Amino acid sequence: MFFDNWEGIYRTVIIAVLTYPVLILMLRASGKRTLSKMNMFDFIITIALGSTVATILLNADVSYVEGLTGLAILIFLQYIVTWFSVRSASFNKMIKGDPRLLYYKGAFIGEAMRKERMNEDEIKQAVRKNGKASFEKVEAVVLETDGSLSVIESGSGEKETVIKDLKGE
C-alpha cells in the first residue's frame, strides 16, 4: 500500500525526467495560447494535459511512447482549434461563447446575472478589486469568456466603447 518496490520508483523517476523536457518543447511549439489565461475550452485542455502527464508517469500499463502520442495529439488538437478560432468568428464564438454585460449605467442586469449564476456581491467584489469604492465611476461590469469580471469606467465621453456590442439579456 505505501511501498511496493524500487522498480516502480525508478520507472516514475525515469519517465518524469524524460517527459518534462518533451512537455516543455511541445508546449513551446504550440504557442503561448496553450497556457494563456483560460476560457472554458483552455481549462478543459489543461486538465486533459495534466491527466495525460499523470497517466504517463504513474500507469505502467501505458508505454512512454503511447503517452507522448496522446499528449502530442491533445496539443495538436488545441493548436488546430485555436488556429480556426482566430480565423473564424463563428467558430470562435462556438468555442468561447460571448462576454456578458452584468451591470450597465447604474443598474444590475438581473436576467444576465441569473443566466451566468452571478450575484450582486460578486460584481461588487470585482468593483472593489478594481479600486473603486462605489459604482459612481463604473459604467459597466462584464463577465468575460475566461470567467473574469472586467470593470469599465464611465466618463470617457467616447462615442464607440468596448461594450457597445455586448448583450445583457
Q: What is the full per-residue pLDDT of the chain (169 aa) written as tens digits?
A: 677 788 888 888 999 999 888 888 887 776 665 555 666 777 788 889 889 999 998 998 999 999 999 989 988 888 888 889 889 988 888 877 788 999 999 999 999 999 999 999 999 999 999 999 889 889 999 998 878 899 998 865 555 567 766 766 5
What cell was used for 130?
478594481
Residue among 105, 163, 153 at smallest CA distance from 126: 153
Contact 71, 56 (CB under 8 A): yes
Task: Give bridge partners of residue 167 from the DSSP assignment.
Answer: 100
The fold of 98-153 is: CRO Repressor (3.30.240)
| 94: Cα separation from own chain's centroid | 15
Name residue 26's amino acid: M
Contact 140, 126 (CB under 8 A): no
